[in-house]
Structure 1
Amino acid sequence: MPRTSFARISGLSAAFILALALPMAATAQDGPPPTPVTVVTLEASDVTLTAPLPGRVAASSEAEVRPQVNGIIRERLYVEGRPVAKGDLLYRIDSASYEAQKASAEAQLAQANASLKSAERELGRQQALKARNVVSQQNLDNAVSAREIALASVKVAEAQVLATEIDLERTAIRAPIAGIAGLSDVSPGALVTSGQATPLTTIRALDPVHVDVTQAAADMLRWRRADGGAKFAEELGQIVELKLADGTTYEHQGELSAAEPHVKEDTGTIVLRLSFPNPDGFLLPGMYVQVDMPQGVVKNAILVPQQAVSRDRRGEPMALVVNADNVVEQRKLTVLRDQGNHWVVTAGVAEKERVIVSGLQKTAAGATVTPQEQGAAEAPAENN
């Protein structure tokens, strides 16, 4: 090949190589493009912290029905499991013997009244004779005493009549409160005794109902002594929500009605009594429930999404924050506790700062990123 042709080819190759090298050099100087990440802009607010406390549903009023006289049950007059009003007739005890006792007491009262009339007549005669000095003072005194004894006998007989009337009335067993009458523990023909240990039935008032939950006394002390803007929510424990055993939320809200002023020595807990309306009878005594009880208020706290928080080697909570220049900064957080799917943070981040919630594995402190707000990132996906 002629030398001139070879030189021309070598020149063209060098020019081609130089043309390729210039873009590569420019790319190497520019570096990789910023990593896209998803961020959430933080807001500061007063956060009310809640805690699920276990409890059991209890009737607001409960009465065990027991007989107050002895006898045989003749009939049951209520429907088991149905509402009864106060004073409704539940059972009837055989009253024949009590009617006889009343008749006997009334006869004794009539006899006592007759004796009283006789003593009063005798006292009148003795007083008239004494006025004429026909009888001694001793006779008059005896007549006065006889009349007082007869009057006392009348009072005793009246009391006996009243007692028999009460016993006779108690053969009709009535509902002491309004509520739902439970199953009957006796049937007609059964012998019952006054004040027996086994109740005939139990009546429960189910609207409203009580829910007794246990609160650790240590938690109450911790909140009362808390710093950093935390305040124990004594006044906020009035309105509460109830979660049922299947995880659903009860449709009616309740309120804190009482707190036991005593700490149980074996468990270190305090019993709180809550009251919930139960118009449909949905809540039944003995049900296991959970109550979202307000625990405290944290002033100017920030809720940081849990997916934005990681742990370093020492277990300290950390978050990646995107500053105004879109450069990533690593922050150490002061976490008070969790609240739903967020962490309640009192230090380490500020209001209006942006924390990375997606793309954490693709970036690190000092890197430049392209942030996109979480809501804006999800909008296109929802439209598709």
Structure 2
Amino acid sequence: MNQIFRTGCLSLSLTALLLAGCGGDRQQGAQPEATPVSAYRVTTRDIPETILLPGRVIAGSEVAVSATVPGQLEAVSAKVGDRVQAGQLLATLNNPSASSSLQEAKRNLQTLEGQLDQLRHLGGQSPAGRVAELQEQIRRRIRDLTETAKTGKLPGQAELVASGQELVRLQTELARLQTESAVSESLNQLRAPLLQGLQMQVEQARQLVKAAEAQAAAARITAPIAGTVLAQNAAKGAPALPGTPLFSIGSVEQVEFEVLLDPNVVPRLQAGQAAAVQVGTQPAAQTKLASVSPAVQPQAKSFTARAALPNPNGWFKPGMIGQATITLAAHKGVLSVPKAAVLRDANGPFVMRIENDQARLVRIKPGYDNGTWVEVLSGLQQDERIVYGGVERMQPGMKVTVTETEPAS
């Protein structure tokens, strides 16, 4: 019985070994099965490098208005929402001394100008020409009388009396003019320094009038530009200090978007970069950065950039909050592959290129990566196919069968 059992077991063992040997021969001769995968055909696309930043709508040409001298607000003539013109009165300061100072300065100037006019006309021109004329007339009279006496024909008594009287009159007038000429010459010598000194006083008085006018004008707080009153911190009876804004005036027809910047982002921003501004439920407005601040802006307490915001319907209002998508670099028409198709090992990034229905490891040099697409700087060419779906199961040399090819878009 035992002999029969041992013989049966030996037969079964031999049979099992034969079957195992035959099975091994079949596996060595069979072809490995291809792994089904999806492929992606390498192409070019735009991969804009963007950054999303918060911001707010601000008025175009916004200007803060404050007092130039300290005082107390006597009256306030404008409120938030009012349309104002350049030069329009917004508020007045209680400054009664400014008006009296102006009147006193004007009176002083008027007095000095009158004194200057009198001094300019004092003395007049020297009568030298008239003196020479009188001297010639006297000499001619004497000469005529002398010539008459030489001929022996003496004039009558009446004529002699008349000639004598005329001679006396001419000599008297000559003496008067000579005296006036001497006085005028003396006055002219004295008048020059007096005129110079008085002219300096008049000029100083004019400057004082201008200063008094500026002081009086400072009590009138006016709009520097035409626009809308956006903010008001002025109230009747409240103090007003230089540098403290009382009003803010700006244009609501032309608005801008002020982007708040992280200091690390500032070096990468510059005027002219494209920006898509999203405010509320409105469609994104396409614009460009107009400026980037080189320093922290006091009002925003941040670095800022500004972009003109098209506002044809007046929907955007100053103070609205939004966000701007700024294009840092366009990366237009660059060779790219899906990020999911890129693998990485200790030697760097690679993809599985499909060659003759086999997966081949190809090293690539990646560029910009936006999380969905990876720019390929080298390693691949356009229209080559790479493994996309199922790439994680691939090993170099494995046979693949492409079930579908992802579209280029």
Task: Verify same fold: TM over 0.5.
Answer: yes
Aligned partner letter, 1:73: L
Tell me whether 1:367 sits opposite 2:366 in the alignment: no
Change (3 A) 1:218 1:162: closer
More helix by share: 2
| Structure-to-structure mapping, 1:342-357, within 5 angstroms | 342-357=373-388
What displacement does 1:254 show?
0.7
Letter in 2 for 1:302: L
More divergent stretch after superposition (277-286 vs 183-192): 277-286
What does residue 288 of structure 2 align with?
254
| Residue among 336, 359, 366 paired with 1:328 | 359
Q: Given the alignment, which residue of 224, 247, 272 partners 1:176?
A: 224
Count of residue pairs the alignment pairs up: 325
SS of aligned partner of 2:234: coil
Task: Name the residue aligned to 1:4.
Answer: none
Matches within 5 A, 1:90-169: 90-94=90-94, 96-124=96-124, 132-135=180-183, 137-169=185-217
Change in Cα spacing, 1:209 to 1:49, as seen in structure 2 (3 Å) is closer
Q: Are 1:241 and 2:275 matched, yes or no?
A: yes
2:351 counterpart of 1:305: no
The one-letter amino acid of 1:120's match is: R
Give the Å deviation of 1:342.
Answer: 0.6
Q: Secondary structure at the match of 1:183?
A: strand
The 10-residue stretch of structure 1 (342-351 or 179-188) with the greater mean CA deviation from structure 2:
179-188
Distance across 1 between alignment mates of 2:281 and 2:383: 35
1:10 corresponding residue in structure 2: none
How far is the alpha carbon of 1:301 from its aligned partner?
A: 4.3
Match of 1:317 among 326, 346, 349: 349
Alpha carbon RMSD of aligned pairs, Å?
Answer: 4.5
> Residues of 2 paired with 1:40 and 1:178: CA distance?
60
Counterpart residue type for residue 50 of structure 1 = E
Change (3 A) 1:178 1:296: same
Letter in 1 for 2:339: Q
Distance 1:358 1:257, change over 3 A: same
Structure-2-length-normalised TM-score: 0.62
In 2, Cα distance between the equivalents of 1:60 and 1:142? 63
Counterpart of 1:188 in structure 2 is 236
Q: SS where residue 349 of structure 1 aligns?
A: coil
CA apart distance, 1:105? 2.1
Gaps of 5+ in 2: 1-24, 129-176, 297-302
User: Residue 156 of structure 1: CA displacement?
Assistant: 3.1
Deviation at 1:112, TM superposition (A): 1.8
Asked which structure has the greater CA Rg, the reply is: 2
Percent identity at matched positions? 18
Q: Give the stretch that moved more between structures: 337-346 or 27-36.
A: 27-36
Q: Relative to structure 1, is the Cα distance of residues 42 and 246 closer, same or farther in structure 2, using a 3 angstrom cutoff?
A: farther
Alpha-carbon deviations, 1:155-206, whole Å to 9, x = none? Answer: 333333333222222222123345564433331112335xx34332344567
TM-superposed CA distance for 1:352, in Å, is 0.8
Match in the other structure for 1:275: 307
Describe the superposition over 1:18-68 as per-residue Cα deviations: whole angstroms up to 9, x where unpaired. xxxxxxx999977676443222111146x6652427576677755432212
What is the CA–CA distance in structure 1 between the aligned matches of 2:210 and 2:236, rounded to whole Å? 28
CA contact (8 A) 1:240 1:256 kept: no
Which residues of structure 1 form unaligned runs of 5+? 1-24, 221-232, 265-270, 379-384
Q: Within 1, Cα distance between the matches of 2:212 and 2:266?
A: 58
CA–CA distance in structure 1, aligned partners of residues 330 and 286 of structure 2: 22
Q: Determine the C-alpha separation between the residues in 2 that align with 1:160 and 1:64.
A: 29
Is residue 76 of structure 2 the alignment partner of residue 76 of structure 1?
yes
Partner of 1:198: 244
CA shift, 1:207, in A, is 2.8
Q: Secondary structure at the match of 1:253?
A: strand
2: CA distance, partners of 1:217 / 1:35: 46
